[in-house]
Amino acid sequence: MATELTTLSAQKYALSLHTTTPELGLAMSNFAGETRTNVWNLGRDLSSYVHQYLIDFIQPQTWADLAFIAVAKGPGGFTGTRIGVVTARTLGQQLNIPVFAISTLAAVAWSNKNDYKKAIAIEMPAQRGKVFGAIYQINSITSELTTLFPDTVLTPEAWQETLTNCNIEYQLIQAQSGLAATVTSILELSYLDWRQGKRTEWSEALPYYGQHPVEI
């Protein structure tokens, strides 16, 4: 028996943030024909201006119009990732609405869902000569994202061995730039969760760093 999916009221909106790189990505939608998104390259000023950009971006809507918030949880830069997750958690707590923490790599896979029929392997540079790797499968019929190999930090050799032994056809994507543009994928993936009845509390939205920012 199929699960009945929840539909968002046209008067309510979802907001997503992407701050895992020096770029700030914001997206907002009521999933009823009104969607807007923008990306700004703020560099080191991201932490200083993210709140002002948020305030300007949501207008003419208000905070009370938000049904839930989504955020890129990493992997990515330590400081940027922390800023985004803390901002989303704070808003979720103050507004008493769900917060969905979505993988940066999953968002890259989802943004390529119409281009590839095979599984999608995502590779992203990490610190100290390592890489982040993950493998996802997208069901084009149900529009569901399945994790075949979760976000993991590995040596390039271990990642290559993982790909060699995965026993499935896949398309490899290098996630190196323009990641903030996948903020719309963060929004869409969170909406899939929301429609299925998931209501993640702000305290459950946790960052994924993968590595300690300082070698120990």
DSSP conformation letters of 36-60: EEEEEE-GGGHHHHHHHHHHHHHTT
- List pLDDT tens digits, range 31-53: 998 999 999 999 989 989 999 99
Mean residue pLDDT of the chain comes to 91
The verdict on 58 and 93 lying in the same domain is yes
The answer to whether residues 18 and 70 belong to one domain is yes
Asked, for residue 212, whether it belongs to a domain, the answer is: no
Q: How many domains does the chain have?
A: 2
Same domain, 34 and 137: no
Confidence class for position 210, pLDDT limits 50, 70, 90: confident
Q: Is 215 inside any structural domain?
A: no
- pLDDT-derived band at 3, boundaries 50, 70, 90: low
User: pLDDT-based confidence at 202, cuts 50/70/90?
Assistant: very high
Q: Are residues 119 and 188 in the same domain?
A: no
> Same domain for 116 and 91?
no
Neighbours of 145 (CB within 10 A): 22
**Whether residue 155 sits in one domain with residue 77:** no
Antiparallel, parallel or unpaired: β 119-125 and 131-139? antiparallel
- 19 lies in the same domain as 97: yes
The boundaries of the domain holding residue 148 are 105-174
| 31 and 97 belong to one structural domain | yes
Residue 213 included in any domain: no
**Same-domain pairing of 200 and 98:** yes
For residue 213, cis peptide bond before it (omega within 30 degrees of 0): no
Instruction: Specify the pTM.
Output: 0.92
| pLDDT confidence tier of residue 216, bands split at 50, 70 and 90 | very low
Residue 39 domain flag:
yes
- Asked if pLDDT for residue 2 goes beyond 80, the answer is no
Q: Does 186 lie in the same domain as 100? A: yes
CATH of the domain at 165: 3.30.420.200
- pLDDT of amino acid 126: 93
